[in-house]
Structure formats: structure tokens, C-alpha cells
Amino acid sequence: MQTFTPGSPGYDAARRPVNPTYRDIRPRLVAMCRSVPDVVEALVRATGDRLAIRGGGHCFAGRSSTDGVLLDLSGLDTIAVAADGTATIGAGARLGQVYAVLHTHGRTLPAGCGPTVGIAGLTLGGGIGLLGRRYGLTCDRLAGAQVVLAGGAVVDCDQDRHPDLFWALRGAGGGQFGVVTALRFATVPEPLTTRIEARWTDVPFGELVDAWQAWAPDAPDEITVNLTLESRHATLFGAATLGEGHTRELLREFTDRPFALRAGLPYHRLKQTFADEELPHAQRTRSEFFAHGLSAPTRAALLSEFGGTSRRLAFTAMGGAYNRIPGDATAFAHRGERFLLDHIGDPDDPWIDRSWAVAHADGSGRVYPNFPDPALDDWATAYHGGNHRRLAAVKQAYDPDRRFDFPQAIR
């Protein structure tokens, strides 16, 4: 295990997460873990310190940074695929690596777009992506996991071994019960896809939002189209596991406006064509799920608040396979939602809170665990809904001394 302390060569590079908002936080110790024994040793060295676990370093609430001991899992990045398509993936692997290796076996996972996003954090909080409406969340494909518990014990969990822990790892959010060092997935065949994109500058935002929220969550599972509004233009992007002709027919149900389509892309190549989700500079985001569409008064009020070059409203389509699993079957409780709305801007922009409050009038009160929001009041219900009581029991069973603790951690 390689370690870095303030002032040592390589410390500054080792301590910085991808999310620039938290790049100035200085850990007392950075432990670069390359094996399970390294993780166990790091936990011993972290006794009495605040602890953070980093897979990708993209956390919106800074949970992959600390002034205590930082466990960097990037060295645990091996990926092995069995003949039956089961993939065992180290918790330090990033999505770019995952897609590339799975492609050589003709397999893939429903997961996110950013190639530097960590597979572990994405999975443990749910995992929304362009194949999700067909195949579900990333955590829905999780078949087992290896976890180092607070006392150093290493356990394997699945439906039969430590089933409550396995249930909790599928969607409660990362870093809550132990250090996940490997994940085992039931992968899916890698499909050919049609890339979908449009950028419009002359469309009334109100009409576009109304049309999108009425169509996108109810479209066939094989197509996902998301919507982002910025100051002077709207961007629609997504993918279909259909040919170009069929895709274009479905899009005409939504609008007659033109889309740029690119057919015949294996899924891993599709991912390479979308920009990384890394934030170019410090930004803040607040979000909420919606079980019903925005009403006309709420939508009008939301758009009347909108404006400014660094502000974005991002709508992500849910429905489909996301919602065909009972809300208590996994820790991810948000199985009846139509879409997710993100309010994104500069950290000191008061518009973010105003915009969120306006939309909240129609929101479900539920929040995606991978988009943690320090401003939430009733965060336990927002993240976990009716699953919170069971999650609290799992937390007590596996981390009674709260070694894995942070603001809004399960309690």
C-alpha cells in the first residue's frame, strides 16, 4: 500500500477528486489500496480518524474527500468475465475501463456516460444510464459483492450470504456499511445502438418541456431521450437499441423537429461519443424525482426563474424497466418515478435553491442517492423512502460503531 501525507511527493495529485468543488480538501493521509489486505491495513490506520472511500471521486456532496484518512481504491481495478457473462469488477474500476473490457466479451452493463465515473459508487447508489429503461439500474444487475467491514473482516454477500447487506448495497448509496472491494454483475449482451442528438435554439421551452414529459417516460423501453435546457438553447440526447428507421418513427411521436441519428454503434462506442460528465469548474446541483409531470403553473414559474449563461435544467427520463421492480426489492426505493430534474449552476447562485423550491411543489419528495443534497431537511425519506427503517437495522448490524459515517449517513 502506497501512502501520501501533506508535503510528500505526489500528495497533491493523490488527494484531488474529479469534482473540482472539493479539490482544496487536504486529507491527513491518502492510502492507495491495491489489494484487500491494503484496505484492511488502511482501516486499522484510520482508527479514530474521519474516513472517506474513493472510487471515482465525483461525489456532489464531497463524500469522497476528507481531512482525515482517504482510501483510494483506484488500484483495485481488475475486470474478469466468465463464460456465462458474469463479470467480477474491482471497486476502483472506472466506466471507460468497464465498457472496453466487457465489449471484448460481447457484454455490457446499464450504467452512466462519464468514463471516469467509478463503477462502485455508481452501483451502490443505483445507477441511471441510457440502457436503464430497458435493463434497469446498474444495481439491478448486481449479483454479489465483497466487503471489508469496520473491524477488518472480509465478507462475500449475495442473495444467500449476508442477504440483508446485499439488499442494502443495491441502491442505498456508497460508503455506508463497509468498503466494497469487488462487485459481481450479471451482464447483458452488448446491443447495437442508434445515437440520438438535437440542439435547438428556436423552440419555446414551455412547449418543449410539456411535450417531453408527456412522451419520454412512456416511450418504449428501447429508447431513452433526455432534455437539457440552457440559456439560449435546448439539447436532447439519448440512444435507442433500435435501427435508424424505427428510432426516427418513435421520435416523430414526440416532435417533427429534426434529430441527428447515427445508427449501428456498439454500446461502448456510443458511450465514447458523449462528453464526460466531469464538471469543468466548481458547480452545485439540486435535484428531485417526479412521479407526475410538472403542472402548467409550476412549469411556467420554473422557466420564469430560468436564465443566465451558467444555469442548466436537466431532465432525465425514468419509467420502463426502472419501475418494474418493487420499491422494497432493493434498497433503491424510487420505483414509481417518471423523470428526474436537476438544477445546476454556480455554487453561489441563489437561483439553484429558488428553482428547486418552485419545482418541488410538484415533486415526489424523493432524491437520487447518487445526487446527494446537503440542503435537504428530511433526507432519510428523500433518499430511502419506506426502506429507511430496514436500512437503519442493516447499519446497526454491520457498522454499529459508525466507522463509515458522514452527514446524512444512514442512522
pLDDT in tens, the chain (411 residues): 999 999 999 999 999 999 898 999 999 999 999 999 999 999 999 998 999 999 999 999 999 999 999 999 999 999 999 999 999 999 999 999 999 999 999 999 999 988 999 999 999 999 999 999 999 999 999 999 999 999 999 999 999 999 999 999 999 999 999 999 999 999 999 999 999 999 999 899 999 999 999 999 999 999 999 999 998 899 999 999 999 999 999 999 999 999 999 999 999 999 888 755 445 567 899 999 999 999 999 999 999 989 878 899 999 999 999 999 999 999 999 999 999 999 999 999 999 999 999 999 999 999 999 999 999 999 999 999 999 999 999 999 999 999 999 999 999
pLDDT at 271: 83
Instruction: Give me the torsion for CA of 405, 280, 271, 232, rounded to 10°.
Output: 120
Give tens-digit pLDDT for 377-386. Answer: 999 999 999 9
Identify the pLDDT of residue 190. Answer: 98
- Dist CA 238 CA 295 (whole Å): 25
**Residue-wise pLDDT tens digits, 219-242:** 999 999 999 999 889 999 999 999
Instruction: Give ∠ CA 56-92-393 in degrees, rounded to 5.
Output: 85
Are 161 and 196 in contact, with CB atoms under 8 Å apart? no
The share of the chain scoring above pLDDT 90, in percent, equals: 93
Give me the CATH topology for the region 192-383: Vanillyl-alcohol Oxidase; Chain A, domain 3 (3.40.462)
Strands (E), 34-95: 51-54, 69-72, 79-81, 86-90
Query: How far is residue 241's CA from residue 219's CA, in Å, rounded to a whole number?
Result: 13
Q: Where in the chain is the domain with CATH 3.40.462.20?
A: 192-383
Q: What is the pTM of this model?
A: 0.96
CATH architecture of 79-190+385-398: 2-Layer Sandwich (3.30)
Tell me the HSE value of 63 on the side-chain side, using a 13 A CA sphere.
23
| Cα 227 from Cα 236, distance rounded (Å) | 5
The three grid cell numbers given for residue 405, joined into one nine-digit string: 459515517
Task: CATH 3.30.43.10 in the chain: give the residue spans.
Answer: 2-72
Q: Can you give the pLDDT at residue 42?
A: 96
For the CA atoms of 345, 350, 352, 355, what is the dihedral angle to 10 degrees? -140
Please give the single-letter amino acid code of residue 258: P
CATH number 3.30.43.10 given to 2-72: yes
Strands 339-345 and 284-290: antiparallel
Q: Check residue 280 and give its pLDDT.
A: 55
- The residue assigned the cell 429558488 is 354
Give me 272's grid cell. Answer: 465514447
CA distance 33 to 56: 14
Return the closest-CA partner of residue 337 out of 305, 380, 292, 371.
292
Region(s) of the chain under CATH 3.30.465.10 = 79-190+385-398
